[in-house]
Amino acid sequence: MNKARVRFAPSPTGFVHVGSLLTALYDWLIARQTGGTFILRIEDTDQKRFVPGSVENLLSVLKKVGLNPDEGVMLDKDGKAVQKGKFGPYVQSERLDIYRKYADQLIESGDAYYCFCSEERLTALREEQEKNKQLTRYDGHCRDISLEEAKARVAGGEKYVIRQRVPQDETMIHNDIIRGEVKFPLDSIDDSVLMKSDGFPTYHLAVVVDDHLMEITHVIRAQEWLPSTPKHLLLYRSFGWSAPQFAHMSHLLNKDRSKLSKRQGDVAVEDYLTQGYLPEALLNFLATVGWNEGDGSEQEIYSLDELIRKFSLEKIHKTAAYFDREKLDWINGIYIRNLSVEKLTDLCLPYLESEIKNSKADMTYLRNIIALEQERLKKLADLPGLVSYFFVDLPDYPTEMLVWKKSTAEVTKKNIEMLFDFMFGLKKWDKEHLEKEIIGWIGDNKLTNGEVLWPLRVALTGLEKSPGPFEVAAVLGREKSLARIKSAIESL
């Protein structure tokens, strides 16, 4: 493949959807794979939906996950959005004169026409079509107005839009990278608006003009834009331009096949990063949601370098991709376990800020705590709930929790008193030594592991589920461990 020029072109309407990040990832991979260019363009022609700060937020998210654009809109060293590249402006609202020029060209060639229909007429038309269970579409009312008459009405100040003139006696054939050959009977496609009455273009005109002028070679976008593709191909033909290659991705759905939406859970990339999903794990997960390398490969974990080498648009699945949160947790857990304890500790510090401040814990203590939980951790935000007992003087729990299910409070108290005396005499306090000595002591006293280790673990952690008592005691240290065991005896 020659050097690709691909563009990620979101609308600045709020948070960054994980589906948008998936598109950006595929764009970025193709650019890196071919030694090409990853361009960020902002499609803000729908000014009603514009949310201030969205562009900066988008760029910040891309920076956090490592998908920085090579050209277009990007962040400067002060965190402000700037534009770089020879094909700018890269913000559509700054390109209105360009779109006007090409809309006028389509008018002159007869591939577009002025439409003077009022909103009231269009609403009544749509309601009538719905009532008769017909396809809702524009009826071509203004299609045959002569250009001379139309220009006179425009000059007279009459309100208008510009519509594309779609041929009605043709079937267009499109070869999609993902979907293969797709046929579009043009008589089922209406004359879409290309230029609105406010002077802003619609997506159909703007995207074609921009992609051509910016020399885009591949367009990767959601399946929902597939029905619009013949309109875009007609525009390329009207202008005498070569069209880029198109790849229409399937929808990203919940496991229950419903649309991934904010109402049903987290869909914003920021939410996942805040919860402590590592950027590289999130990208790994998204890359494999709707793609695999084929040839019987069962590989699930890919570095970005591996994805650059192995990814191909042709192997993206045609069927819907499912956002499986359990799989994301599993992948994130693998990435967490592959981190050094030092690196993981640095990443965890913001999540333990209040605990650290209240307990004045030092870095060695923190690293030991995090090393203890590293194997169980699925996302960083879970950490405070798992390790809070390390940052209190004594854990709080109901006394009855100390009693092993096959024992009694009296027996439990006697066993813990004996264990306390034994542990008080131990000289070494590492995990291996504690385990060896305590297991030996249990055997020597003809006790069972359950009736000793259960109350020991509860005394140390105050939890029903936690790491083993030897690991916890080693991290807590001799003084804190003995103090907690003594407190448990007193509570019994």
Q: Give rounded-to-5 percent helix, strand, coil for the chain.
A: 50, 15, 35
* CA quadruple 154, 158, 163, 166: dihedral, nearest 10: -80
Angle at alpha carbon of residue 334, lines to 329 and 337, rounded to 5°: 120
The Cβ of residue 258 has, within 10 Å, a number of other Cβ atoms equal to 10
Q: How far apart are CA 149 and CA 360, in angstroms?
A: 81
**Local structure of 243: helix, strand or coil:** coil
Q: Is the dihedral of CA 58, 61, 65, 66 positive or negative?
A: positive
Instruction: With both helix axes pointing from N to C terminus, report the angle between 279-289 and 54-65 in degrees, rounded to the nearest 10.
Output: 90
Can you say whether residue 133 is alpha, beta or left, with left for phi > 0 and alpha for psi between -120 and 50 degrees?
Answer: left
Which three-class secondary structure state does DSSP give residue 248?
A: strand
Greatest CA separation found in the chain? 107
Look at residue 218 and give its three-state secondary structure.
strand
Query: Taking a C-beta distance cutoff of 8 angstroms, is the pair 86, 68 a contact?
Result: no
Query: Whole-angstrom Cα distance, residue 369 to residue 106?
Result: 68
Question: Which residues are the active-site residues?
Answer: 262
> Which backbone phi and psi does 73 adopt, to 5 degrees?
-85, 130
CA distance 205 to 162: 10
